[in-house]
């Protein structure tokens, strides 16, 4: 039986998970929950990668980190996630130069319960697909993109879609922030 991917218009599931937020001794871990997003009244971008200590994943994580200020400027929380444990996340951050200075949490869905509820677990290995969710301040999923395991995503496209959703207007194909929207 295949899982159905939770999609646009659905309420993003509630969660409470450990996350790595620092490499500084004694400040590495923080429990993050869906309440942090909903109580903050912000948008949320949560992106998933299959495994730590792999090849495509750090390129995406580093690119999201380079664009962190762009998400912050859009009043948007950014959370990265995989089914690896918080200890594996921490070891990877310490080991990989591009991950040491991350400014967003690396959520550990060790039980795989959130990935399962989202419907993004790959059938054989039970690891998450490269899924990206944009969730509005009310907890409603407004955009989902899922890539196969070997293809990295486009962070600029995530920002473009976030900009379009935040206009709450009709945005034509290839629309970019600052361009005219459509009038109905």
Annotated catalytic residue 171: no
15-2-4 Cα angle (round to 5): 50
Token digits for 51?
Answer: 């495994």
The CATH T-level fold of domain 16-167 is Glutaredoxin (3.40.30)
- Map the chain to HEC letters: CCCCCCCCCCECCCCEEEEECCCCCCCCEEEEEHHHHHHHCCEEEEEECCCCCCCHHHHHHHHHHHCHHHHHHCCEEEEEEECCCHHHHHHHHHHCHHHCCCCCCEEECCCCHHHHHHCCECCCCCCECEEEEEECCCCEEEEEEEECCCCCCCHHHHHHHHHHHHHCCECCCCCCCCCCCECC
Q: Would you list the domain boundaries of the chain?
A: 16-167
Cα gap 67→63, rounded to integer Å: 6
> Helix 155-167 crosses helix 56-66 at what angle (to 10 degrees)?
40
Q: Considering 19, 46, 57, 90, which one is annotated as catalytic? A: 57
Tell me what percent of the residues of the chain surpass a pLDDT of 70: 94
Each residue of 106-163: pLDDT tens digit? 899 999 999 999 999 888 889 888 899 999 999 999 999 988 777 777 888 999 999 9
- Lowest mean pLDDT segment, chosen from 18-32, 39-53, 71-85, 160-174: 18-32
Each residue of 10-34: pLDDT tens digit? 999 999 998 877 678 888 788 888 8
Cα gap 22→17, rounded to integer Å: 16
């Amino acid at each position: 039986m295949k899982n159905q991917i939770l999609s646009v218009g659905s309420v993003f599931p509630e969660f409470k998970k450990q996350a790595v937020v620092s490499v500084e001794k004694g400040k590495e871990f923080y429990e993050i929950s869906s309440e942090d997003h909903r109580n903050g009244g912000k948008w949320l971008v949560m992106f998933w990668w299959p495994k730590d200590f792999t090849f495509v994943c750090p390129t995406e994580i580093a690119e999201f980190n380079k664009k962190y200020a762009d998400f912050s400027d859009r009043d948007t929380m950014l959370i990265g996630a995989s089914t690896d444990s918080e200890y594996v996340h921490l070891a990877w951050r310490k080991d990989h130069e591009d991950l040491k200075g991350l400014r967003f949490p690396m959520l550990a869905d060790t039980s795989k319960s959130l990935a399962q509820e989202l419907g993004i677990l790959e059938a054989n290995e039970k690891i998450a697909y490269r899924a990206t969710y944009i969730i509005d301040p009310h907890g409603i999923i407004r955009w989902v993109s899922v890539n196969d395991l070997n293809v990295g995503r486009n962070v600029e496209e995530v920002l473009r879609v976030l900009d379009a959703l935040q206009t709450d207007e009709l945005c034509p194909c290839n629309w970019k922030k600052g361009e005219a929207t459509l009038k109905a």
